[in-house]
Amino acid sequence: MPRSSCSEQHREAGAVAPTLPLTQHRPPKIKGSRVRLAPTRRPRPVASIMAPARKMVAARVRQQAPGSSGMGGQMMKQLAMMPIMYFASQIEWDKQKIFILEAVFLTFLAVSSVLIQLALLLVNRKQEKGRVVDAGDAMLFLDASALGADGSMSIQDYDSAKLKVSRMQVLISGTISWFVHTKWETQTPLLMVCVVVVMQLWDCKALAIHLLGIPHKRPWDSSAPSNPLASWAQKQKKEEAKELRKAEKEATGGKQKIKGKPKAS
């Protein structure tokens, strides 16, 4: 039968060639002598692909939040000193201006010391008994008796130690800047310390907790390997705590032996 007659018969019968949906057209994959169809894969949505990246970015942002001691915060503090140094170099300092600057400087130190002392009083009044692990630089102002067997300390001891660390930083920076000011008769250190003290008080989360009522998760500064002083203090305090517990056990064991000894008839 001629080809044209066959096509005419199909058109007359109304036959339609079967078609498959576009999603089921799969190119064959040839492997050796066998022919198999590639499995259909639905494309992953963009949201599921970007989810791990978003989680990593969110974790990094939480670690370097405002008020933290991350690289971004340290860089911003250093950049903030540049306009202060330029501003101090453009002022013609006379006796009256120097006197006003010294008064402002001493006022900043006094106010910061009063705020830290007030926060210490509130910490001792609350007497929170929760436990904190990995105190970081707070180990410098912790007693070995305050550490538990697992190296933890109470919230009261942790907050008071962090406040003492902040007070030490304020006093040390103020003393050094005043010495430089009186020794070389320069006013730039006083201006810089006034700004640094405000930044230190803003970064002190213990002040935010007890004076402003802003909650923060403890510990907010851990003893990183880049801080050798905190690591050394942590090791020393843990060793002292172990020795104290060992001495207490020996003392209690000796008392029990004395109590359990039978009386001589």
Higher per-residue pLDDT: 36 or 90: 90
| pLDDT attached to residue 6 | 52
What is the predicted pLDDT for the residue at 52? Answer: 60
Q: 78 by DSSP, 3-state: which?
A: helix
Provide the token pair at 78.
Answer: 């250093």
pLDDT tier at 179 (50, 70, 90 boundaries)?
Answer: very high
Q: Are 211 and 148 in contact (CB under 8 A)?
A: no
Judge whether residue 67 has pLDDT over 80.
no
Instruction: Please choose, from the candidates 165, 135, 160, 131, the residue with its C-alpha nearest in 3D space to the C-alpha of residue 148.
Output: 131
Residue 39, both tokens: 């499995």
Q: What is the pLDDT of residue 225?
A: 42
Q: How many CB atoms lie within 10 A of CB 196?
A: 21
Lowest average pLDDT, out of 36-50, 105-119, 125-139, 202-216, goes to 36-50
CA pair distance 109, 235, nearest whole angstrom: 32
Q: Is the pLDDT of residue 40 over 60?
A: no
- Place 120 in a pLDDT band, splitting at 50, 70 and 90: very high
Residue 238 has pLDDT above 50, yes or no: yes
Calculate mean pLDDT across residues 151-174: 91
> Is pLDDT above 50 for 131?
yes
Q: Among 118, 176, 160, 192, which residue's Cα sits nearest to residue 200?
A: 192
Say whether pLDDT at 245 is over 80: no
Tell whether the model's pLDDT for residue 166 goes beyond 80: yes
Residue 54 has what DSSP assignment?
H
Q: What pLDDT is recorded for position 48?
A: 55
pTM here is: 0.62
